[in-house]
Chain A
Amino acid sequence: MEYLIHLAILFSIYGILGISLNLVVGYTGLLSVTHAAFYGLGAYATAILLTTTGIGFFLSLIIGVLVAIITSFLIGIVLSKFDDDYYALASLGFNTIIFALFLNWQSLTRGPLGIPGISRPELFGFDFSSNLSFLILSLIILVLIFYISKFIVNSSFGRVLKAIRGDEKAIQVFGYNTAYYKLTIFVISAGMAAVAGSLFASYITFVDPSSFTVFESIFILAIIILGGLSNMRGVILGALFLILLPEALRFVGFPPDIAAQMRQVIYGLILVLLMLYRPQGLLGEYKL
């Protein structure tokens, strides 16, 4: 049972990551491969604040979101100069730069040693140290993010995003400064990823740079492509699938470090197979 709760918490965290990345990749058509950077910024903000200051979880979450917002704003401005392939490549570059920050700014992040001893959230005296309570917290946040995203997607703003995905030059002619739209959704998406990061840091109580590499960004991409781009329920399905499948491997008897690599083999292969045979994913409407 505890194990199921653990899986459910991971599912919530990746659900948030997938939903937020989907806003940029699925709805706006921008192939961003740097999501793990913002995930990491949120995680490190919470990790650092909770272990070195008296700031509580929820405030650290807000600060993490702010850090992600500012960083993604700057990155987004540079990225907006690029199209398609170059956009993806540049985003990979930014992920690498931020990863290098996590690894090398040792006075702040303790580098490869990571930051242990992160406490669980506390709200009005209630302690979220039991996994079950943490699960409920994560699920509530997941639902919140889900509905905020739905709101964005169903608004006029969301319709413009889809038009940008369809034909950016054409929608510009009709009076839209698309750069502002792209930047806005990129920043919103980054803020949401930071929320997932804060949850992650507090749940695992330990963070280190290895959780925020380019391969993590690729994993999140695999989730949303599998589920079906621009389909929010698809993201949920994709997250479910890609969280559960590797865990199933542990039952089959692979030792834990091999299991981690197997997970990578699986989602790598899934991406290739999807591109070859079903680019619209499980529930998707939109093909890359």
Chain B
Amino acid sequence: MDIIPQLVLNSIIAGSIYALIALGFNLIYGATKFFNLSHGVMAAIGGYTVFYFAKTLGWNLPLSIVVGVLLAGLIGYALDKLVYFPLRKRKASNMVLLVASLGLFTAIQAIIAILFTSQFQTLSQNISGQRIYEILGGVITQTQLTILISALVITVGLVLLLKYTMFGKAIKAVSDDEEVAKIVGINTNKIISYVFFIGSAIAGLGGILVGFDTGIEPTMGFALLLKGVIAAIIGGVGSIYGALIGAFLLGFVENFGIWQISGEWKDAIAFILLILFLIFRPRGIMNK
């Protein structure tokens, strides 16, 4: 097995996972202009919901997945209504929103740990029975292929939604200028809460897929959040394409970066990439 094709595949898979997180993050940032650090925990919520319904309660798997995605979206929606919207209403500064999102993230992650223990769990039914595909000299599992396809489908879906539907155009209007959007009659707060729903649902899906690929643990949200944020920033905050580009760039840099050094340094490499971008190109790749 050639190492380079495998590295390429690994990069693409990692990029797809990060893309699922970054897409939602960028969508929310575009509409609200703040860094929603509670976004990562939505992935954990998705993963654990499926775990609960499918493994603990024994529900039908596809149904559990739907519930997982919806619940993640709902909780994101609820957080906006309960916390972020009241803060936006009284014109709280971005720092206040950021601190609030940190607090929510901290609390929710701990609640998950209390409910489900800190143990690492996996969502897949049978460990050895997964289908494996060989592509261009590298190996990829069925789950990983699903991740890749999901990331692409969702990106395309979002782009179509934003470009061709009234709803999508309203989102774009709010992202461009909330005040003007209000003036032309758009109910900006309703749009924003829908954005939270969609973004969080996508993150939830990401968490579920990661659960099938590697597994779930309460702290997964933080790791995914950081990677997602890094991808979002280097791709360009607020941009859909940027999330995708940034995510894949991050995936490649991480996986090729650890080629010669030990894999434990992946996180550090990701951060160094972030810091470099923040210094030299803070608007990201897609924004000017």
Contacts and interface: CB of A to CB of B under 8 A. Distances in A.
Given A31-B98, A214-B222, A272-B100, A265 B35 contact: no
Nearest to A94: B271
A268 B41 CA distance: 13
Nearest to A287: B96
- Dominant secondary structure at the B interface: helix
Contact of A258 (B99, B114, B229): B114
A257 B83 CA distance: 29
A189 to B, nearest CB: 18
Given A84-B94, A268-B110, A275 B87 contact: yes
Interface in A71-86: 78, 81-82, 84-86
Interface string A1-38: 00000000000000000000000000000010100000
A100 interface: yes
Contact of B109 (A33, A89, A264): A264
Interface in B89-140: 92-100, 102-111, 113-114, 118
Nearest to A95: B271
Interface string B264-281: 110110011011001100
Contacts of A257: 118
B93 A222 contact: no
Contacts of B83: 272, 275-276
A205 interface: no
Contacts of B114: 258, 261-262, 265
Contacts of B103: 218, 222, 267-272, 274-275
Interface residues of A, number: 45
Given A78-B279, A104-B262, A275-B96, A85 B34 contact: yes
A218 B106 contact: yes
Given A85-B94, A275-B99, A288-B99, A92 B110 contact: no
A85 B106 contact: no
A263 B111 CA distance: 10
Contacts of B108: 268
A96 interface: yes
Contacts of A49: none
- Dominant secondary structure at the A interface: helix
Given A89-B35, A271-B102, A288 B93 contact: yes
A170 interface: no
Interface centre among B93, B102, B268, B278 (most CB of A within 10 A): B102
Nearest to A254: B114
Contact of B267 (A84, A100, A272): A100
A103 interface: yes
Contacts of B268: 96-97, 100-101, 104
A271 B83 CA distance: 11
Contacts of A261: 110-111, 113-114, 118
Contacts of A97: 267-268, 271-272
A90 B276 CA distance: 10
Interface string A193-218: 00000000000000000000011001
A279 interface: yes
B100 A271 contact: yes
Contacts of B102: 33, 218, 221, 268, 271
A172 to B, nearest CB: 20
A225 interface: yes
Interface in A210-246: 214-215, 218, 221-222, 225
A153 interface: no
A-B residue pairs, 7 tightest by C-beta:
A271-B103, A268-B107, A268-B106, A264-B110, A272-B103, A275-B100, A104-B264
Interface of B: 34-35, 83, 86-87, 92-100, 102-111, 113-114, 118, 222, 226, 229, 233, 262, 264-265, 267-268, 271-272, 274-275, 278-279, 282
24 contacts: A33-B102, A85-B94, A85-B98, A88-B35, A92-B226, A93-B271, A93-B274, A93-B275, A97-B271, A100-B264, A100-B265, A100-B268, A104-B262, A104-B265, A104-B268, A221-B102, A222-B103, A261-B118, A267-B103, A268-B102, A272-B103, A275-B92, A276-B83, A279-B92
Given A84-B94, A264-B110, 13 more contacts: A85-B34, A89-B35, A90-B275, A97-B272, A218-B102, A261-B113, A262-B110, A264-B113, A268-B103, A271-B106, A272-B100, A276-B83, A288-B99
